[in-house]
Amino acid sequence: MDAKNLFRNGLLVLAVVATLANTALAQRPYGANRGTSDGRNVAGQFDYYALVMSWSPSYCQGLGGDGDSQQCDRSDGKRYSFVLHGLWPQYAPKGWPQDCPMRGRPFVPRPVINSMLDIMPSDKLVIHEYRKHGTCSGLQPGPFFGLARQLFSKVKIPDDYRNPFETKFVSPGDLVADFMKVNPWLRPDMIGVDCGGPGNRLSEIRICFSKEGQPASCSHNEDQRRLCRADKMSLPPVRATNPDAPEKNVTPVVPRPRVIPNARNI
């Protein structure tokens, strides 16, 4: 076979391979193996929610907390333990949408921001979470944050995690077990624990819900092997027991869910 025919046959093989690949993609179920880079970030088209609750002392001891005076400034006497980080639409088996296009600007009204500050103690966090994740829910800011509060209120925080005075060390599995004890509806496949940074600090927990707000199994996004492989995590205290610590007379704030009448109309 001469070089010209060899080249022509090579092009033919490449064309067949490309056709088969495109066919496979077209037949793939919606959401399968999709991340944020596929360009199909469509509002309302996702498989489940991850309710993300972050451990505030870890955040405030990290780089992110340096510029967040609302959540981390000690001068106002407030301390937070678990706070609502966000409600994230997720794809199954993996991936997620973000920054979904919507009609008009993704504007969060001031009354909606104010209504969330008891459990999301930062203006910029509320605004950021709606722009990045809330826009993909298909909901306007009021209903979206109303649902986030409703799901947050379903999760009871174990007493040992409400106001620890000293650094606490716990394995991801033990933390899951502690949450399951006080939330009988929770199963191991519904929760993931994230850690990182110095001392493998607890970063956040993720609890999964269906689009209708019912407890649901998580997916690859919350695979514990991805989020935290440490045998033990450290949980910085909400406040210290050292009598010389500046915060010795501080009364910590533990976010407690409250019901807002007509939350969907905010």
Domains of the chain: 48-265 (3.90.730.10)
Beta strand segments in the chain, E: 48-55, 82-90, 168-170, 191-196, 201-209, 233-235
Among candidates 146, 36, 20, 133, which has minimal Cα distance to 86?
A: 133
Radius of gyration of the chain measured on its C-alpha atoms: 22
Q: Would you call 128 a catalytic residue per the annotation? A: no
CB 170 within 8 A of CB 232: yes
Helix (H, G, I), strand (E, B) or coil at 108: coil
Residue 51 structure tokens: 């309710």
CA dihedral 6, 11, 15, 17 (to 10 degrees): 60
Q: Which of 85, 212, 220, 247 is catalytic?
A: 85
Q: Which of 129, 204, 220, 247 is catalytic?
A: 129
Give, for all 266 residues of the chain, the pLDDT tens digit. 555 555 455 545 444 434 333 333 333 332 333 444 455 799 999 999 999 999 999 998 886 666 677 888 766 667 899 999 999 999 999 999 999 998 878 899 999 999 999 999 999 999 999 999 999 999 999 999 999 999 999 999 999 999 999 999 999 999 999 999 999 999 999 999 999 998 899 999 999 999 999 999 999 999 999 999 999 999 999 865 443 444 433 444 545 544 444 433 33
Q: How far is CA 70 from CA 5, 62, 182, in A?
A: 70, 15, 30
Q: Which of 128, 133, 166, 220 is catalytic?
A: 133
CA dihedral 259, 148, 173, 71 (to 10 degrees): -80
